[in-house]
Structure 1
């Protein structure tokens, strides 16, 4: 018996299945029920449902259709192997063996041209994979072509006549290997004939259920029908419509027919009913399958369930079930009485427009919390969240759902990620396989070294790894193993900034010790000492291992050699824990699978590194973690066939225009696109049907979100065409209660606005925290940020901290405070540091010098020049450090640095005549003892200099030293500060006055330890400068200093000052009195000088 059951509900089909099993159980407990399903997720759901219904679900097998049929082919037909000799993988390697010898034939000229210059045979590998995939499709969907080709014909191959020739050669090669001639094109008819033998029934199961499969190829249906003559076959089909809809077309298809045949007289396409527009547009996959079933004249039972009509979602499901079209243009368009009325509280279909994928997840989290709060019976297991590619959303899901506090935590699981996306070991293995094409950037190498299994193998912990990262940055490693490895990029040979360059600097520096500057072309890095040599050795050993592995991937090897190479990689790079061992077994299993395929194909030629790498990476990526689907949490998964399991809430994310439905361009030589037939698979048609299945499987709510606004410019973006069709359908056929008097278009717009919510750009938008409105948020941590714009600037301290006793104060400590009072307060009093200790990896050799690097190099030149040291040796040392751009650009930079520094050194010579003295400062100022030392005190002045432009902070620092000098009653009473292009002369200040000014600065220091101070030397200088130019523009100038501009930093770029003074008004109120108190005395005692 072959019985077909139609239903629009999997729950009804499940109940039918359960009842059939209950009424006629299999008496033998060792014989398993056979239930064909299309996915493991469906099998798991069905197993749980059967157990819930019957109390137990045991002795049940859930094979996939292809594996089930192949198993029974082998039981009915003679000499059927366990694995087909014409499986896709076997055909790929066989084609690689036979195709090169055939390229000289004229019919293969196109392929010969494509494979020209294919030195590593990677193009051949890719091409054979594509051809094998196409042949695999022909075996299922075009068996008549295969039969014709094997008999010497060339049906359908006029555009690509090489395909029948190559197939015959493939078949001949397989026969020469004495492998089975059976394949899916020739065994279906033989299987049907074999079933006529009465003895065949002895090897078949007692009965077979085929549950909820969306579509089957025609041959599969014929085979199942033939089985039905020997055993009971129950085909349970999810059919969204109770009426026959195998011939309906949507408006676009009808329009195409009219355009194509408009010249044909008396031809009317009105007989092609549209039926329900959504069913017509999205249901092609099911429509073709239904047509095939009807074509076979089968016994059918209908078991449809009417949805409870009360919401927009259930109404649309009912429309599809009854093949109704509520969107037909009504007679009256000036009102909406012809539309179906909806409750204004109806939220059964929701559309959420966001600015990014992260915002989609944040919004979803809040919306789910709201659903759970409003419906206590709704559980996380009742919700499924699907998207076109779960891997693209996985980081955001982890960031939002994993980090939610306990009171807002929602249990969740992520399915369908490849193993490499979940385990860093597999991702690192992929990087190792690609070493031959790697640039060995600092980022890539350190990311590989940071993988836990690799760190364990090398013998590193987090602390030692961070130290290595610091060393790598300091010795200026950027990319490349060495000059030889860089040659593959067709670049000039250069060692600078490579790993060998950096390792050599560290090794030489450790050997020579501190004080060495240049040795035999190497600039030693001398910061490594003592037991740190062991850590340096680990880094050097790891780099040697990478280079050794890279060399293995520069040449072809036989597969036996590749096995040794891969096993060495697993041994040398990884020390696995329990989870990592699973990943290593995945690699070994993939390698073993390749070995079996090569053996089956008798392929013994050497494999290139690119081929072996691509196969292993692809094989690992194809293994997904879908076993976690449906474990009692909110399920996040990729939209794929048979995810139409009933859920209370179905969420579709990433429904963006151009993203979904997904579109895979057909292979150029796929003959099925030239001669299409009903039932041919199309990714785009599959996705349309998946969307409709999701719509039908939602029991209470369909939640859709998409990126509807640009995160850059806020421009509107349209959703997926499927979402647009659903919205159009809703607004044309339905009206909110109370809007019946509005015109059809106006009521439609109102309904669209009711369904769609446009969310703000950020989660802390004030809109989410208003008492009235459509927006809400459960994330209370965003409330302070949301209120920031509407409230007054928060006062950092409501009252000053208690002052601490200050018996002594170092002169340099006072100077440091004046240079940045806010930082001093946070660092010294609060022990808070905002500095970013994270080292940002630099993956390119330097092309220019930043200001700090330029300053430090000038300082080295200046000191060397003043001390009459060998400048040529310094030139070589600096060039050998890898700080400068390469070649001529580096030399030009070096010449400029040297010129500026030597020019300043010449200007300093007249100021540094005589023997400098070192003067001790030991002043008692009130209750504070000010102590320190002043270097470079010449007979008539204190000399200060810097190879930079004169700035306000340097002026103020030198002013403090000048006051200390004057207060000490030294013979030397004047001070000179020299910069690259200017000098400042500080006039002598009477000792009493200097002491008084120092006392005020010390009081300011003490004040600055109890509260942050609104003072900045640069802004103070700007304040007085602008006062002299145009007093009316002082505030404007200060505001520019505070906020900065697109071309210059402001005080708000200082994290310490920004934390204490977030707004200009509180800052400037305190700043002006402090500027006049601290900086103005300086201006009255200095003379500025410019160079000629």
Structure 2
């Protein structure tokens, strides 16, 4: 029947009134196979190929081609099914997969050839490890790459192999922030297994787990190999000296990867041929790698990638067949979702609505390619598609290509004695013989299937438990005494929306930090905070400041030499002023654990830094909304426990924010309100924001304990809210907060102001006025 269909198609223009021909139901030259999944399609394909190869001795492996418009989706399943140990060995070749690997190797080779021109900043080196071929060669896993990111950040490795490399690039000849110096820090950290210890002018920067010690060796080996190639590639050489370069590249960066052997051999032959041609030209001068790199790129682009392999079943895109005769053509993935999908922007494409004769129609191209595949088949033309949904086993229609082929066959063929059948009935009858539905358990026995289903149920159950665990606990706890930790209560009121996602939904949106790639000309904002905090804690706890200053100098976060000395000296004076104020108030600090019953709720925790005058807190930068509300909640508990002093927090540039002492009843009622607000907020997100706090600071009259009615003050207050929300070129606005973005995309001024007024009024009502305004 296949040959008759081809003749009909090819002779259609010559004789448009072709007579109907009989169709033999036993003819298996055309087959349409319905499967349940992509893997099931490949399993069915494998079974059919085995049957045909066993029954038809005239067909060899290279007589068979398997095509798909979405071949990438099947590559994993092809490799797994065709490489099963207990199955008959079938040689196969995936042209698209091979082409991708060739591109990856060529990209990697080019990256290595550029080593003589790069600064070796941390991102450039880690980018190499993101290539699976390189990470596999150096035996570095994905988990270990994440650890390396952390180590590089901790050791402040920025760029440069060593001081000699920096000198070659006409920079200052210093070891600071280089790879070799960073590795020395890691080795010392491993030897001492303790942070912030100095030995031989090297600072141990991180505590390294002994099980990860091998990773230091892997990193050291990688950097040494890269440095070796940097030196080799940085000099011009006689052309014969470059002859074995690609072979050396394969050995150093792609060793022990058998799946790449064929591609590497081909590329090495191309490289050596290029070098041999230059040698034959009798060119005597030394030549740089840059010229060879450009020439090799030109040659590689000219060489066509191998489309088909002799002695193997070829898998490729349908467009590659292009009338090449094969005894068997098998097209997979012909479901309605697989090809000819409508684009989301089709309604914007005016060419669709107003086509011209010269316009390219993608659907027509697809039909034409499919027709080429049909004509290329000499004995067998098989097709397959996923005909059932994996979720509910609902039927999925095939693509229009299969429907039109069946319709065409029904128009021109019939089974004996069915010549008078209506076209609709003939389509059904022919479909019955052409279409074959394969059983779901094709390669798996029932026991294995049951195990998989059982595992899936457990997975769903676990996901359900993980996602709803906290919500269920909340609901159950409403019926009993609700136990709350002070840390959780404070964490919630600092950022209610973030806490809702972290606690209730068990969701955390991690923002990946970007590594610093240049030497520190100034102290980075985050590092500035770390230095300030480190110095302040050291001064308060009377630690050896000389040793602390030496640790900071060796950490690699200060500018070079005198610039760093001046910056550190100024920072020291600034922090010393804050420390002196803290020492005035800090006398014999104590801490107290507590467990309070507030109606049906139990709250527990520990209050630290309790002075005779009240609670004392401090920070190195400006006092903000989060600091105030944290101190306020601790102050309420302090007063409930019988404290009669004032609680205060000391901030940057002599800022002081403090609260009056409250009575037991006042503190109890306020704390109950904030606990109930916490309970509501972990079920429904509470829009309490920094923008609202900034607005309320401007609009609240702290002397008269009321909101200003002056329109000008209100206008300025709303402007402050808007500026805090939108931000500027120097500071990110609150609307950039990823947690807030998930709740709202618009600035709801009325709601933000209402919530801020409700929860922040008590804080400003009980603020002590006679201190510096914050």
TM-score (norm 1): 0.45
Helix, strand or coil: the match of 1:992?
helix
1:421-450 residue CA offsets vs partner (Å, 9 max, x unmatched): 962222121122222222112222112122
Q: Deviations over 1:345-391 (max 9, x none)?
A: xxxxxxxxxxxxxxxxxxxxxxxxxxxxxxxxxxxxxxxxxxxxxxx
- How far 1:1047 sits from its partner (Å)? 5.1
- In the TM superposition, 1:330-479 aligns within 5 A as 423-479=103-159
| Correspondence 1:1084 to 2:765 | yes
Distance 2:302 2:561 in 1: 47
Paired with 1:531 and 1:522, the residues of 2 have a C-alpha distance of 23
- 1:816 and 2:491 are equivalent in the alignment: yes
Partner of residue 436, structure 2? none
Matches within 5 A, 1:821-860: 821-836=496-511, 838-860=512-534
Q: Number of residues paired by the alignment?
A: 534
Q: 1:537 aligns with which of 200, 204, 217?
A: 217
Q: What is aligned with 1:939? A: 612
Using the alignment, how far apart are the partners of 1:854 and 1:841 within structure 2? 16
Question: Do the aligned partners of residues 504 and 699 (structure 1) sit closer, same or farther apart at CA in structure 2, a change above 3 Å counting?
Answer: same
Deviation at 1:556, TM superposition (A): 4.4
Q: Secondary structure at the match of 1:1011?
A: coil
Does the 8 A contact of 1:817 with 1:1005 survive in 2?
yes
* Counterpart contact for 2:243–2:275, Cα < 8 Å: no
In 1, are the aligned partners of 2:504 and 2:682 still within 8 Å (CA)? Answer: yes
User: In the TM superposition, what is the alpha-carbon distance from 1:1012 to its structure 2 partner?
Assistant: 0.2
> What are the residue-to-residue correspondences of 1:63-78 with 2, within 5 Å?
none
**1:1075 paired to 2:756:** yes
| Kept in 2: contact 1:941–1:976 (CA 8 A) | yes
Separation of aligned partners in 2, 1:910 and 1:1022: 33
Kindly indicate whether the alpha-carbon contact (under 8 Å) linking 2:588 and 2:611 is maintained by their aligned counterparts in 1. yes
Give the TM-score of the pair, scaled to structure 2. 0.62
CA distance 1:703–1:843, change in 2 (3 Å): farther
In structure 2, what is the equivalent of residue 1016 of structure 1? 689
Q: Please tell me whether the aligned partners of residues 1051 and 1058 of structure 1 are also in contact (alpha carbons under 8 angstroms).
A: no
| Alpha-carbon distance in 2 for matches of 1:536, 1:504 | 10
Which SS does the other structure have where 2:593 is aligned? strand
Partner of 1:1049: 732
Please show how residues 889-900 of structure 1 align to structure 2 within 5 Å.
Answer: 889-900=563-574
Q: Per-residue deviation at 1:943?
A: 0.7
Measured in 2, the distance between the counterparts of 1:592 and 1:975 equals 78
Q: Distance in 1 between the 2:528 and 2:476 partners?
A: 40
- Aligned partners of 2:690 and 2:734 also within 8 Å: no
Query: Residue deviations 1:663-698, cap 9 Å, x none?
Result: xxxxxxxxxxxxxxxxxxxxxxxxxxxxxxxxxxx9
- 1:881 to 1:808, Cα distance in 2 relative to 1, 3 A: same
For each residue in 1:1010-1030, what CA deviation from the matched residue of structure 2 results, as whole angstroms up to 9, or x when unmatched? 100011255235324224464
* 1:988 has 2:674 as partner: no
Q: Does the residue aligned with 1:531 lie in a helix, a strand or coil?
A: helix
Partner of 1:548: 228
Partner Cα distance (2:476, 2:195) in 1: 42
Preserved contact between residue 865 and residue 871 of structure 1 (Cα < 8 Å): yes
What is the alpha-carbon distance in structure 2 between the residues aligned to residue 54 and residue 567 of structure 1? 55
CA change 1:889–1:622 in 2 (3 A) is farther
Could you say which residue in structure 1 is the equivalent of 2:32?
A: none
Supply the distance in 1 between the matched residues of 2:761 and 2:561 (Cα, whole angstroms): 49
Task: Name the residue aligned to 1:527.
Answer: 207
- Residue in structure 1 matched with residue 588 of structure 2 by the alignment: 915
Cα distance between partner residues in 2 of 1:1048 and 1:841: 20
- Tell me if structure 1 keeps the 8 A contact 2:509–2:738: yes
Tell me the residue number matched to 2:50: none
In structure 1, the residue corresponding to 2:609 is in which secondary structure? strand
1:702 counterpart residue number: 359
Post-superposition offset of 1:476: 1.8
Q: Secondary structure at the match of 2:199?
A: coil
Conservation of the 8 A alpha-carbon contact between 1:420 and 1:426: no
CA RMSD of aligned residues (A): 3.9
Counterpart position of 1:901: 575
Shift of 1:594: 2.8
Q: Deviations over 1:163-193 (max 9, x none)?
A: xxxxxxxxxxxxxxxxxxxxxxxxxxxxxxx
Match of 2:169 in 1: 489
More contact order relative to length (CA 8 Å, sep ≥ 6):
2
SS in 2 for 1:960: helix
Map 1:570-585 → 2, pairs under 5 A: 570-575=250-255, 577=257, 580-585=260-265
Residues 895 and 1091 (structure 1), Cα distance of their counterparts in 2 relative to 1, 3 Å cut: farther
Equivalent residue number for residue 219 of structure 1: none
Alignment check: 8 A CA contact 1:419 1:620 kept: no
Q: Which residue of 1 aligns with 2:190?
A: 510
Relative distance call for 1:620 and 1:841 in structure 2 (3 A) is farther
SS of match in other structure, 1:505: helix
Tell me the SS of whatever aligns to 1:934: strand
Alpha-carbon offset, residue 551 of structure 1: 2.2
Matched, 1:1063 2:749: no
Deviation at 1:401, TM superposition (A): 12
SS in 1 for 2:608: strand
Would the alpha carbon gap of residues 623 and 525 (structure 1) be closer, same or farther in structure 2, given more than 3 Å must change?
farther
SS in 2 for 1:701: coil
2:554 counterpart (880, 895, 902): 880
Q: How is 1:35-54 mapped onto 2 (pairs within 5 angstroms)? A: none
Q: 1:1017 to 1:842 in 2, by over 3 A?
A: closer
Q: Distance in 1 between matches of 2:629 and 2:292?
A: 66
Give, in whole Å, the separation in 2 of the partners of 1:467 and 1:872.
31
Contact 2:501 2:507 in 1 (8 A): yes
Structure 1: which 5+ runs fail to align? 1-51, 57-399, 404-414, 636-648, 650-697, 706-799
Q: Write the distance in 2 (CA, Å) between the matches of 1:516 and 1:55.
A: 81
* Deviation of 1:1069 (Å): 4.2
1: CA distance, partners of 2:129 / 2:539: 42
Compute the displacement of 1:615 (Å). 4.1
Pick closer, same or farther for the CA change 1:1069–1:606 going to 2, 3 Å. closer
CA distance in 2, matches of 1:423, 1:599: 27
Partner of 2:343: none
Aligned-pair distance for 1:518?
Answer: 2.6
Change over 3 Å in CA distance of 1:850–1:856 after alignment to 2: same
Counterpart secondary structure, 2:198: coil
Q: Contact 1:486–1:493 (CA<8 Å) still a contact in 2? A: yes
For 1:1039 and 1:423, locate their aligned partners in 2 and report how far apart those are by CA, in whole Å.
50
| Cα drift, residue 928 of structure 1 | 1.6
Secondary structure at the aligned position of 2:358 is classed as strand
Q: 1:553-596, CA deviations, whole angstroms, 9 ceiling, x for partnerless residues?
A: 24444555434454232112114656633442243112220343
Measured after TM superposition, the shift of residue 1086 of structure 1 is: 1.4
> Structure 2: how far apart are the matches of 1:829 and 1:1085?
32
Matched, 1:632 2:313: no
Map of 1:480 onto structure 2: 160
Specify the SS of the correspondent of 2:203: coil
- Helix, strand or coil at the partner of 1:831: coil
CA offset digits 1:892-912 (Å, max 9, x no partner)? 332232222111111111111
Distance 1:539 1:948, change over 3 A: same
Instruction: Describe the SS at the equivalent of 1:1079.
Output: helix
Structure 1 residue 973 corresponds to structure 2 residue 613: no
2:189–2:204 CA contact under 8 A, matched in 1: yes
Instruction: Check conservation: 2:646, 2:659, Cα contact below 8 A.
Output: yes
Write the distance in 1 (CA, Å) between the matches of 2:731 and 2:134.
44
